[in-house]
């Protein structure tokens, strides 16, 4: 379906996230993975979705000289937003505990910015999902951090892991966005692109 529309393009996913790779594969699009290291920093005045959009565009810009007319690059960045600030990937065990303690019993927003880029065209969009966590005990938080080591995950958790099964009371929006890629929106944007 979609791959017929994109058959003239070589699709590159600019992400080493195994979850994003799995989700893009689920759209039946042939792609290859290429990663360029970019610092995930942003101007301090940016908030919420502006941060996610800024970071996915920054990742795309790193490929500027590697894209020709027949290449379509997809980059994404997912952030967790709560109490007017961003929660990053945990630096260590203690940081992970602190992050999950802040999420415990509250609603937070998971925002993914996605950038589609060819040599002559760039398009970006974002998806926002509200995630409601139950109250977590310190024992549950310690168990998750120790056993799942979520060092590569914004907000120190993966919805598809143990913590998602026990902590998420409900979500409003795309579940796949919480995993790192809003697949329905991406599909529609690619069909339009």
The percent of the chain in helix, strand and coil, each rounded to the nearest 5, is: 40, 25, 35
- For the chain, the domains span 2-192
Q: Point out the residues that are catalytic.
A: 77
- The dotted CATH code for 2-192 is 3.90.950.10
Q: Around Cβ 4, how many Cβ atoms within 10 Å?
A: 6
Q: pLDDT digit string (tens) for 65-93?
A: 889 889 999 999 999 999 999 999 999 99
* Predicted structure pTM score: 0.93
Length of the chain: 193
Q: pLDDT digit string (tens) for 125-175?
A: 999 999 999 999 999 999 999 999 999 999 999 999 999 999 999 999 999
């Amino acid at each position: 379906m979609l791959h017929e529309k994109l058959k003239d393009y070589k699709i590159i996913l600019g992400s080493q996230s195994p979850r994003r790779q799995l989700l893009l594969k689920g759209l039946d699009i042939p792609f290859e993975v290429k990663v360029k290291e970019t610092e995930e920093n942003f101007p301090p005045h940016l908030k919420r979705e502006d941060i996610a959009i800024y970071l996915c565009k920054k990742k795309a810009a790193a490929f500027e000289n590697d894209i020709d007319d027949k290449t379509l690059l997809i980059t994404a960045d997912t952030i967790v937003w709560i109490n007017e600030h961003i929660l990053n990937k945990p630096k260590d065990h203690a940081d992970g505990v602190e992050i999950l303690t802040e999420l415990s019993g509250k609603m937070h927003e998971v925002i993914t910015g996605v950038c589609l880029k060819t040599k002559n065209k760039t398009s970006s969009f974002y998806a926002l999902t509200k995630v409601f966590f139950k109250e977590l005990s310190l024992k549950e938080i310690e168990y998750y951090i120790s056993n799942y080591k979520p060092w590569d995950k914004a907000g120190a958790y993966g919805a598809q892991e143990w913590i998602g099964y026990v902590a998420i009371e409900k979500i409003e929006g795309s579940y796949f966005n919480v995993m790192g890629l809003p697949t329905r929106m991406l599909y529609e944007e690619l069909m339009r692109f």
